[in-house]
Amino acid sequence: NAGVMQNPRHLVRRRGQEARLRCSPMKGHSHVYWYRQLPEEGLKFMVYLQKENIIDESGMPKERFSAEFPKEGPSILRIQQVVRGDSAAYFCASSPSSRRQETQYFGPGTRLLVL
Amino acid sequence: RKEVEQDPGPFNVPEGATVAFNCTYSNSASQSFFWYRQDCRKEPKLLMSVYSSGNEDGRFTAQLNRASQYISLLIRDSKLSDSATYLCVVNSLRNYGGSQGNLIFGKGTKLSVKP
């Protein structure tokens, strides 16, 4: 059973370009979470999605950031017009259900560097 | 007050030592608690869940004190491979019909075990 997959693992963008980060949850998992980790900081929640639905996007910046989890295919975190402050590690996690104490399994992350 | 606070360390200990990490959380209504481990430039991995009665997994013991809103992790007989950053994690309180929602991470405590 493959784990959570994220690609690309490393992404370099120039200021003003778009970044697309992909996450394929573990098989059988329908709940996806995106977190961001700035250098020397803890992980911060961004958005929680189920298939075709955004459940909670309270941690997402209001502008330039969007996320989706379509019926088919991976979840996508999209950052438009990137700025240097977007440089961070972006982790995706998935879980099979929304029960309390349910473990969230993390992918290897995408490291975004904005030049 | 931060939602989850940890001593950042670093804790530098010799092999075989016993080391304890502490963590406090601000919201008394939090329900689920975890310790994750994060190696340098890797994703967080679940070490253990923390239960009110305390729980043990080999050399690792976790304790929860709800009255003091305090979580601890004890590592006995430290190994070189224990060197990592240990993340204290609590669930959010958002309720999506029973969902645990997103996780709130502390910044982590860095442990370095020396030969």
CB contact under 8 A, A102 and B102: no
DSSP, collapsed to helix, strand or coil, labels residue A24 as: strand
Local mean pLDDT, 10-residue blocks, chain A (115 residues): 90 98 93 92 92 90 95 95 96 81 87 97
Q: Which two tokens stand for residue A79?
A: 């950052």
Tell me the C-alpha distance between A8 and A84, whole Å: 18
| pLDDT, position B53 | 85
Q: What angle do CA B30, B33, B35 make, to 5 degrees?
A: 150
Interface test with B, best of A43, A92, A106 (most B CBs within 10 A): A43
pLDDT at residue A90, rounded to an integer: 98
| pLDDT for the residue B34 | 93
What pLDDT was estimated at residue B103? 86
- What are the tokens at A101? 């104490």
Closest alpha carbon to B60 in B111, B113, B20, B16: B20
pLDDT of residue A74: 95
Residue from B41, B43, B47, B91 whose CB has the most chain A CBs within 10 Å, to mutate: B43
Question: Cα-Cα-Cα-Cα dihedral of B24, B72, B104, B67, to 10°?
Answer: -50
Distance CA B90, CA B2 (A): 12
Q: By the CB < 8 Å criterion, does A52 face chain B? A: no
- Chain B residues whose beta carbon lies within 8 Å of the beta carbon of residue A107: 43
Tell me what pLDDT residue B102 has. 77
Q: Which residues of chain B have pLDDT under 50?
A: 98-99
Which tokens belong to A78? 């999209």
Residues of chain B contacting A108 with CB distance shorter than 8 Å: 42-43
pLDDT of residue B98: 47
Whether residues A100 and B107 touch (CB distance < 8 A) is answered with no
Looking at residue A112, what is its pLDDT? Answer: 97
Q: With contact defined as beta carbons under 8 Å apart, do B21 and B72 qualify? A: yes
Question: Quick one: which of B103, B97, B4 has its CA closest to A47?
Answer: B103
d(CA B61, CA B57): 6
The Cα B32–Cα B93 span in angstroms is 10
> How confident is the model at residue A98, as a pLDDT?
63
Interface probe with A: pick from B99, B104, B107, B110, most Cβ of A within 10 Å: B99
For A31, name the nearest residue in chain B, comparing CA atoms only: B101
CA A101 – CA A106 distance, rounded (Å): 15
